[in-house]
Structure 1
Amino acid sequence: MTQTEDRAGTRQPGQLVEMSWDPITRIVGNLGIYTKIDFANREVVECHSTSSIFRGYSVFMKGKDPRDAGFITSRICGICGDNHTTCSNYAQQMAYGIKPPMLAEHIVNLGEAAEYMFDHTIFQDNLVFVDFCEAMVKATNPGVLARAERTDAPRGEIHGYRTIADIMRAFNPFEGEVYKEALKVSRLTREMFCKMEGRHVHPSTLYPGGVGTVPTPTLFTDYLSGLMKTLDFIKQAVAMNDDVFDFFYEALPGYEEVGRRRVLLGCWGAFQDPEVCDYRYETMNDWGKAMFVTPGIVVDGELVTNNLVDINLGMRIMLGSSYYEDWANEEPFVTHDPLGNPVDMRHPWNQTTVPVPQKRKLDDKYSWVMSPRWYHQQSDQHLALDTGGGPLARLWSTALSGLVDTPYVKATGNSVRITLPRSEKLPEQTLEWKIPRWSNTIERDRARPYFVAYAAAMAFDFVEKAMGLVRAGEVKTFENFEVPDEAIGCGFHEAVRGVLSHHLVIKDKKIANYHPYPPTPWNASPRDSFGTPGPYEDAVQGQPIFEENGPDDFKGVDIMRTVRSFDPCLPCGVHMYLGKGKEITTMHTPTYGAGNG
């Protein structure tokens, strides 16, 4: 027996059982989740997030022609490669001092909007909702399913299902109506993407300086036709998600604690406004705030900054529990940014990646993922920001900033209003995502269908502007440039699952240093050098267990829901070791909370 503590500091004696899920995903590193669970008190008391694959892009990018960076870094991921290409091009355009033609920017925005719609749909409806479908709920919470059978779906007039259980059945893998319809919508949105960026997922028509896409009127009308065909599904998906997630709060009092952590959200912004954006570092604050998804850092529900210069300078790459040698005593690549601000040695511009393979020890070094943190000067803390799976941070930052104001999307200061036009079955709708009370599993998942609607709404705006330019004869899509002898650049974008930045240093017309930072290291980071757990670890650690099964038949569904709510790249292969677990008989004092250094 061990004496343990809960978040409130009081706990009865209970046994801790070790349980692990490894691997959860084989994309961008094998993700493993290692936990210690107190079944007597129904709580996860400790969590470690591990990655067992070293990628090394920052190593072999050195010496390459910088113009190849977008094509190479696209291969970082087989899911969101286009986001990497786009972000790399943003960084290169800053380094080369070029601004693509306006039509090219609209084409990139249209491609990225289709990518968000594609990826979020296939992830939410074909992967996330496997954990909320009838078959899973029956296996883990039969009492909840029985209640769902008796509970009318409040938004049935929109999505067409009578009870909550009917929605859950529609999510059943391979057989459910929504599961199968989501696959069709994903195919359609992928085709829309390919019209703009040539190939999915590694674009063939995106370059620094513009695009190679031929901007015919038919190109945009075909895209618009596909967009219209998605609208009924998007409207119904928002309604179904709201019904199911509201039901879980009602059926399982206290479920808001599952996956809840301190509100520490980061968004780097998406959808450039070509009327404002010139890619110059000196004006980055201005064009960053003009993005149609507003960048920002949200701490305890408050907007700390939406200035991309501040966001860039605050980035710190910590080592802590990861398998790398420190570079703190090396010569920096960049001492000051173009505005004269000092650049920290732990900024990605100055990072040197020296891998040190070793045996995994959960009490020491245990992951190939480094620990990105954002330094908050006012509190002198290195914050373990998370992306909320992407949509939660994007919507929260945009809502608080109150800067986006288009015919289709408006940020109000405490919400985001999304207007979708009339579709085949449903009338025009204005959806409103409101800032929630918590940053938890349910709200990360709830935000995702709202952001699909957001991306669709903005796509209407982009396609109208693109068609206007084509009708006016403004069809230029590329701007020539020269690679400078020396330069630095940084690109800020949103990969599907969250913040994405590329940091580039050029010397002698070659890449001297290059570091891409996608959402995976932000979300999946291990404990840093201050002992602060990463977001997966923090969200799982301390959460209650609502599954009705005991240790002998434990599925870990609440743990899986939490990890998957962050969209840990694409968990296309789920392999679980369940068994009966391993009882721990040593003393253990867990660490809870955000632990910000």
Structure 2
Amino acid sequence: MSWDPITRIIGNLGIYTKIDFKNREVVECKSTSSLFRGYSVFMKGKDPRDAHFITSRICGICGDNHAVCSIYAQNMAYGVKPPPLAEWIINLGEAAEYMFDHTLFQDNLVFVDYCEQMVKETNPGLLRTAETTEAPNAGIHGYRTIADIMRAFNPFSGELYRQALQVSRITREMCCLMEGRHVHPSTLYPGGVGTVATPQVFTDYLSRLLNVLDFVKKAVPMNDDIFEFFYAALPGYEEVGRRRVMLGCWGSFQDPDAVDYQYKNMNDWGRKMFVTPGIVLDGELRTTNLVDINLGMRILLGSSYYEDWQSEETFVSHDPLGNPVDQRHPWNQTTLPKPQKRELDGGNYSWVMSPRWFDSRTGDHLALDTGGGPLARLWSTALAGLVDTGTVRATGHSVEINLPKSREFGEMQLEWQIPRWANTIERNRARAYFVAYAAAMAVHFVEQAMGEVRAGRTKVFSDFDVPDEAIGCGFHEAVRGVLSHHMVIRDGKIANYHPYPPTPWNASPRDMYGTPGPYEDAVQGLPIFEENGPDNFRGIDIMRTVRSFDPCLPCGVHMYLGGGKVLKQVHSPTFGTGVSG
């Protein structure tokens, strides 16, 4: 069975599966992308000061994340440090973006898969149970039963669905107050920002934030209720979308007191970010060092429509600390597209390459995933235990989120605890908690920005010159996960530029070692809980799993359901004729 396309911002996602209905399991999955973008090709020769304006257009939903990441890479290449107020303004804009995007995706797209109408069509028995199951947090969010929550998720008619649209509007306004425009910022630059920092602009931001806090305080307990119900009502549902814990987070929200954008100090200022970078492997925090994270990046081929660049030019042989840089590192990549026919059985089938992280301890190329963004961010931050702003505290095993008094609610503390699994439900649950995390951080950022203004430190830009020769790298978190921009400057122009957003990490096909990408790995082996048979199968658990990674707003799904194909017939005197595969 195939779902193609699952419409996306970056490329067109197709999911191709082989399903064993007798054993109710997905036995094989291939993730494809049918669109070539080519930013790494046409960035060459451009003025590096235009990089953030151009790369913002990579995505129509998280363009500001790309702009910010590009600015970070440019700051490093130019050797410029923005004033503290500029950093607080960027952090405020990015916090608003996380709240905007996660709310829109979670409540207007993800929860359609958990709404009353969808559950009625795919698991009517589950809906009957939901009608008689009381919601544990009803006293907070106001919905008496789990079925009442599901009705609130119904598209267009559901109360929560409509409320989320209003919150998305408010948070988008917050982003515009800081970044000038959404989704392609007009006031963010290398060296600082063009935002006019007045008490009024921060007050306008804060007044909207208080409205968002009211929504968040209801949404998180409601998310917990619906997800705990699925675990309890469908024993074994934790296996849906479960894969080995291999999470990557590149960090977010710079600390102006620590960051200087110098590569030699990148480990130090990276660990001071308000979302801690890290690689989590089997529950262990392998590293928080951005230098190690950078040097471990490898771009592999295998099932992609590209020629290998191993014999091409090496742009960066060693990093500024003298460490050797691999030929398959983004600094050294040359994009050589090779259009060809899609071959799902043993051939090439996607325009997405296969980013991997090289584990020097084991020699493995790890197919890290982002957990949809929030799962990796919260997991890495929790284990590192470095963040403590008063509004957010990482404990080593959890993240405490302290939300101040708002219009409808008093102070509230939420705690995201490291889960037992990296699966579909926990990716989705983490998204609700990260909206709360971003809101709590925004409270802290507003206080810091207002402190700068009250002290008369209103400078928001530092001058710089573009060097003839330089390299830079920016590390950030797009809404749905890891984001890096690597740039090489020669003769004052861009000689090489490679942005790596979460899409290629999550949607990558099988690499040169045969390792499946995260979508493929999470869907392959997935148990089927849907009550429908092959003739009217909706694939709801597959769709929930793919969407749990937040694949760039899958706003339209088209499914082709043929009669199937017999892969093997077995004749047995005992059991007669059966069909497998």
- TM-score between both structures, scaled by the size of structure 1: 0.95
Match of 2:411 among 414, 422, 428: 428
Match of 2:501 among 507, 518, 526: 518
- State the AA in 1 paired with 2:402: T
Aligned-partner Cα distance in 2 for 1:578–1:234: 39
Matched, 1:255 2:223: no
Aligned to 2:523: 540
Aligned to 2:573: none
Deviations 1:548-593 (CA, angstroms, capped at 9, x unpaired): 0000000000000000000001112222223444443389xx9xxx
Contact map agreement 1:25 1:568 (CA 8 A) in 2: no
Contact map agreement 1:271 1:293 (CA 8 A) in 2: yes
Deviations 1:336-357 (CA, angstroms, capped at 9, x unpaired): 0000000000000000001000
Aligned to 1:75: 57
Q: What secondary structure is seen at the aligned counterpart in 2 of 1:37?
A: strand
Aligned to 1:382: 365
Aligned to 1:13: none
Q: What secondary structure is seen at the aligned counterpart in 2 of 1:24?
A: strand
Contact map agreement 2:8 2:551 (CA 8 A) in 1: no
Contact map agreement 2:368 2:518 (CA 8 A) in 1: yes
Match of 2:250 among 268, 279, 286: 268
Match of 1:234 among 212, 216, 235: 216
Aligned-partner Cα distance in 1 for 2:490–2:569: 54
Aligned to 1:15: none
Residue pairs, 1:88-167, within 5 angstroms: 88-167=70-149
Give the superposition deviation at 1:169. Answer: 0.2
Deviations 1:507-533 (CA, angstroms, capped at 9, x unpaired): 000000000000000000000000000
- TM-score between both structures, scaled by the size of structure 2: 0.97
Match of 2:535 among 552, 572, 577: 552
Contact map agreement 1:553 1:580 (CA 8 A) in 2: no
- State the AA in 1 paired with 2:527: P
Aligned-partner Cα distance in 1 for 2:309–2:91: 37
- State the AA in 2 paired with 1:525: S
Q: Residues 469 and 531 (structure 1 numbering): CA distance in 2 closer, same or farther, change over 3 Å?
A: same
Aligned to 1:569: 552
Aligned to 1:6: none
Aligned to 2:43: 61
Q: What secondary structure is seen at the aligned counterpart in 1 of 2:464?
A: coil
Aligned-partner Cα distance in 1 for 2:70–2:351: 23
Aligned-partner Cα distance in 1 for 2:566–2:252: 47
Unaligned 5+ runs, structure 1: 1-18, 591-597
Matched, 1:220 2:202: yes
Aligned to 1:446: 429
Aligned to 1:8: none
Aligned to 2:287: 305
Match of 1:292 among 264, 268, 274: 274
Aligned-partner Cα distance in 2 for 1:150–1:514: 56
Match of 2:192 among 198, 207, 210: 210
Aligned-partner Cα distance in 1 for 2:541–2:120: 14
Give the superposition deviation at 1:330. Answer: 1.7
Aligned to 1:593: none
- State the AA in 1 paired with 2:195: T
Contact map agreement 1:414 1:435 (CA 8 A) in 2: yes
Matched, 1:505 2:488: yes
Matched, 1:411 2:394: yes
More deviation in 568-577 or 341-350? 568-577
Aligned-partner Cα distance in 1 for 2:187–2:564: 50
Aligned-partner Cα distance in 1 for 2:137–2:245: 29
Deviations 1:434-459 (CA, angstroms, capped at 9, x unpaired): 00000000000000010000000000
Contact map agreement 2:468 2:491 (CA 8 A) in 1: yes
Deviations 1:32-75 (CA, angstroms, capped at 9, x unpaired): 00000000000000000000000000000000000000000000
Q: What secondary structure is seen at the aligned counterpart in 2 of 1:74?
A: helix
Deviations 1:472-515 (CA, angstroms, capped at 9, x unpaired): 11100001100001000000000000000000000000000000
Deviations 1:339-387 (CA, angstroms, capped at 9, x unpaired): 0000000000000001000000012100000000000010110000000
Aligned-partner Cα distance in 1 for 2:8–2:97: 21
Aligned-partner Cα distance in 2 for 1:77–1:93: 22
Aligned to 2:336: 354
Give the superposition deviation at 1:232. Answer: 1.3
Aligned to 1:398: 381
Contact map agreement 2:482 2:502 (CA 8 A) in 1: yes
Unaligned 5+ runs, structure 2: 571-579
Deviations 1:376-430 (CA, angstroms, capped at 9, x unpaired): 0101100000000000000000000000011100000000000001122222111
Contact map agreement 1:553 1:579 (CA 8 A) in 2: no
- State the AA in 2 paired with 1:296: G
Residue pairs, 1:27-38, within 5 angstroms: 27-38=9-20
Matched, 1:469 2:452: yes
Aligned-partner Cα distance in 1 for 2:26–2:43: 40
Aligned to 2:310: 328
Aligned-partner Cα distance in 2 for 1:423–1:142: 39
Q: What secondary structure is seen at the aligned counterpart in 2 of 1:131?
A: helix
Aligned-partner Cα distance in 2 for 1:226–1:580: 52
Aligned to 1:179: 161
Matched, 1:488 2:454: no
Contact map agreement 2:5 2:557 (CA 8 A) in 1: yes
Aligned-partner Cα distance in 2 for 1:582–1:424: 59
- State the AA in 1 paired with 2:543: M
Q: Residues 184 and 581 (structure 1 numbering): CA distance in 2 closer, same or farther, change over 3 Å?
A: farther
- State the AA in 2 paired with 1:426: F
Contact map agreement 1:65 1:509 (CA 8 A) in 2: yes
Contact map agreement 1:555 1:578 (CA 8 A) in 2: no
Give the superposition deviation at 1:29. Answer: 0.4
Give the superposition deviation at 1:331. Answer: 2.4
Identity %: 79
Aligned to 1:11: none
Aligned-partner Cα distance in 2 for 1:251–1:197: 45
- State the AA in 2 paired with 1:157: G
- Give RMSD over aligned pairs: 1.0
- State the AA in 1 paired with 2:239: E
Aligned to 1:342: 324
Q: Residues 90 and 405 (structure 1 numbering): CA distance in 2 closer, same or farther, change over 3 Å?
A: same
